[in-house]
Structure 1
């Protein structure tokens, strides 16, 4: 169940990046390693300024606390030319995004 929640959170982060449907971006770089049960790693860059890297590892394999830990980042350029980067971790502690463009909770 934790895996499904983490996967859903990661997918939400992916969909949060703006998409320009009028673009015909070309893939400039693509890497894909170790797709399987124990983890994965991939990275790509496109001609429209999008770059993404993500890696995951299976923690506590075979135990009741088995969890997929994901770490990654995505960078994109907004229509106004501003570059955004979202770094994230998704693991047994939940989804933890970081980026200069994200709001920060006030200190209590």
Structure 2
């Protein structure tokens, strides 16, 4: 379980870096305008917004605590303004079955 909290902390730090990333040529560097974080032994949640309109919210919960099948189930979303001027949102779930993103602009699997 100690490793779980460390992994979560690393994931949050990477998310902040990814959302605030380096500016393209001619653009100003984005500033973090809101950052909330709550990390507990069996779960976490965070939200970050930047001055360029990007945002990312996520929460994770440890499942099957104390068993050989212990895993983190994550649910979140991120929004960004693309080069074409449109705002895109991706909602996702990530758990022991993999990463499952959904968005109006993403192709859907044929079932």
Same fold (TM over 0.5): yes
1:21 corresponding residue in structure 2: 23
What is the Cα-based RMSD across aligned positions, in Å? 2.7
Per-residue deviation, residues 22-68 of structure 1 (Å, max 9, x unmatched): 341111111011x2431110001111010100000100111011110
Unpaired segments of 5 or more residues in structure 2? none
The structure 2 residue matched to 1:77, chosen from 49, 74, 81, is: 81
User: Which one scores higher on RCO, CA 8 angstroms, separation ≥ 6?
Assistant: 1
SS at match of 1:54: strand
Question: How high is the TM-score relative to the length of structure 2?
Answer: 0.74
CA distance in 1 between counterparts of 2:110 and 2:46 reads 35
CA distance in 2 between counterparts of 1:105 and 1:56 reads 25
| Structure 1 runs of 4+ with >2 Å offset | 19-23
Alignment: residue pair count = 96
Question: How high is the TM-score relative to the length of structure 1?
Answer: 0.75
CA distance in 2 between counterparts of 1:72 and 1:58 reads 15
User: Does 1:39 find its partner at 2:43?
Assistant: yes
The structure 2 residue matched to 1:103, chosen from 75, 100, 107, is: 107
Q: Measured at CA, do residues 84 and 66 of structure 1 come closer, stay the same or move farther in structure 2, by a change above 3 Å?
A: same
CA distance in 1 between counterparts of 2:22 and 2:49 reads 15
CA distance in 1 between counterparts of 2:22 and 2:79 reads 14
